[in-house]
Amino acid sequence: MSDPKRELLRHTLATLVYRGRKAIANAPDGFESFPLGEKTRTPLAILAHVNDLLDWGLSMADGSRKWNNSTPGSWAAESERFFAAAQRLDDFLASDSALQADVERLFQGPIADALTHVGQINLMRRLAGGAVRAENYFQADVVAGRVGPDQAPPRREFD
């Protein structure tokens, strides 16, 4: 029998990826270095941090418990890393391996933080003139396990 908490965490991760894909796909030229302020991260640094959070989430789940402040690569490289990190975490969550951290703490730490940062990227896209179209996310076709770049098309977007 599957663990309903674990399944909800997988769905939450799929939600993060669905929203994250919208935030990072087709970003305007030069967006990765969009300056919001001198004490704020660039979109590229935020995306790299999201990826670090996903890697950290996996390390908490598997018990290796390690944090890495990575040096950001290119926008394309960090975008690929986003999906790869989400896939590794989802694969672990979908496995029979015992979780070495509480599901609630995995949500409240790395996953919730990553959701916040995807929102920051969306806000920065709007400020940079490349807004992501709004969507009724309740109607979105988000499925646990679908954490790659190929996501279902939006069902209802609006301006």
pLDDT in tens, 20-65: 999 999 999 999 999 999 999 999 999 999 999 999 999 999 999 9
Tell me the mean pLDDT in the region 125-148.
97
Note the pLDDT tens digit of each residue in 58-107.
999 999 999 999 999 999 999 999 999 999 999 999 999 999 999 999 99
1, pLDDT greater than 60: no
Neighbours of 29 (CB within 10 A): 7
- 159 burial (CB, 10 Å; 0-12 / 13-18 / 19+) is exposed
- 87 burial (CB, 10 Å; 0-12 / 13-18 / 19+) is middle
Give the pLDDT score at 15: 98
Neighbours of 23 (CB within 10 A): 23
Q: Which domains does the chain have, with CATH numbers?
A: 9-136 (1.20.120)
Measured distance CA(28)–CA(130) in Å, rounded: 6
